[in-house]
Amino acid sequence: MLRRAGVSQELDLCVDGVALKDRLKLDGRETRSFLAGTHPDLGRGQLYAELLADAPPSAPGGRVHLYTTCAVCEDLACGTVAVRVTRKGDTVKWSDFASTWPLDEEIQPIRFNPAFLFDWSDYSAELLGGVG
Pairwise pLDDT comparison (122 vs 68), residue with the higher score: 122
| Separation between Cα atoms, residue 98 and residue 126, nearest integer Å | 24
Instruction: Report the C-alpha dihedral over residues 106, 88, 128, 39, rounded to 10 degrees.
Output: 10
With contact defined as beta carbons under 8 Å apart, do 53 and 85 qualify?
Answer: yes
Mean pLDDT for the chain overall: 78
Helix axes 44-51, 120-131, angle to 10 degrees: 170
Q: pTM (2 decimals)?
A: 0.80
What residue ranges do the domains of the chain occupy?
A: 30-131
With contact defined as beta carbons under 8 Å apart, do 49 and 55 qualify?
Answer: yes
Tell me: pLDDT of 123 over 50.
yes
Task: State the average pLDDT over residues 71-91.
Answer: 85
